[in-house]
Amino acid sequence: MIEISSYHIQVLAFMGINIILAVSLNLINGFTGQFSLGHAGFMAIGAYTAAILTKACGWPFLLATLAGALLAFAFGLLLGIPILRLKGDYLAIATFGLSEIVRVAIVNFDDVTMKAATLVGLQDLVPKEITRGALGYPAIPEVKSLVWIYGWAFVTCLILRNIVRSSEGRAISSIGEDELAAESLGINTARYKTLSFAIGAFFAGVAGALFAHWVTYIKADLFKIDKSIEILLMVVLGGMGSLSGSVLGAVVLTLLPEYLRVFAQWRMVIYPILLILLMLTRPEGLLGRRELSTILGVLYTRAMGRGGPAPGNPPVAAE
């Protein structure tokens, strides 16, 4: 029997948060095919909003989480409309820039609001410290509950699964397959791209709120590009366009750095090497576009002796 310490629980909590992040990013990157490098920015928006609401305004946790997520959703919608006109590399860079701007905005938030308030003569009404700049936001009310985290993770997976299977989800997937073709079939690509971007942002906000209340101390530097890349890696490892793949990716990539702790400070050297090797050997990820249930189903039928080609994995034509 493994003894469960607070360390194990912490890892489990981060795993749950990572599942939410990876699955929601997969909607944007995998299904819609829009390369976003800015997921950490939306996470930061959710984290800060929820933290400020519970601590300074005394809101209940669930309400604050929803508020943070809704603000992230609103930002996703607002920023998605202009940004998503870009494609490929350019979109990646623009989303990266956006999340950097969010970070810098959080750091400078107090200064700027104070100056603005002074300009219109409202300096007495505006609190001096809102985000506390680069020092970080301390002493957030603690909500250390795996039930909340895995509850949200379950809800996220459920909602995204239903979205993907709905007719809107098919429209979104068709954009991911071929944007030009989707557009020529009469799909309002701009609308669905923005929608999927905003829904992804919503759940990133949820994850941010959960994260903030677990660690009780956040600062803007936690939500740098590194975090976005980490989430992206989970999506890519699991397979773009596979929800269960993202869950798998999140689980593996949360545990892997913990196992690599044996290597002490060399862990962060080994980690990118493994990533490069993954990209060179299996660029489509562990599951590709398939779901775990499909694969298990195929294995089951094969085991039962009722072979036949696997759905979603057509036999390769003879060369």
* Binding positions for another protein, rule: CB under 8 A: 29, 35, 82-83, 85-86, 88-90, 92-94, 96-98, 100-101, 104-105, 107-108, 111, 180, 226, 229, 232-233, 236, 240, 263-266, 268-273, 275-277, 279-281, 283
Task: Pick between residue 209 and residue 220 the one whose CB is nearest to another protein.
Answer: 220
Task: Pick between residue 139 and residue 273 the one whose CB is nearest to another protein.
Answer: 273
The Cα–Cα gap between 247 and 227 comes to 17
Task: Pick between residue 12 and residue 117 the one whose CB is nearest to another protein.
Answer: 117
Q: Closest separation between CB of residue 21 and another protein, Å?
A: 17
Residue 111 has, within 13 A of its CA and on its CB side, a CA count of: 7
Task: Pick between residue 212 and residue 234 the one whose CB is nearest to another protein.
Answer: 234
Contact status, residue 237 vs residue 278, Cβ threshold 8 Å: yes
Q: Closest separation between CB of residue 260 and another protein, Å?
A: 10
| DSSP strands (E only) in the chain | none
Q: Closest separation between CB of residue 94 and another protein, Å?
A: 5
Task: Pick between residue 70 and residue 225 the one whose CB is nearest to another protein.
Answer: 225
Q: Closest separation between CB of residue 56 and another protein, Å?
A: 23
7: exposed, middle or buried (C-beta count within 10 Å: 0-12, 13-18, 19+)? exposed
Q: Closest separation between CB of residue 59 and another protein, Å?
A: 29
The Cα–Cα gap between 1 and 276 comes to 36
Longest CA–CA span in the chain (Å) reads 79
* DSSP string across 117-139: HHHHT-TTTS-S-SS-GGG-B--
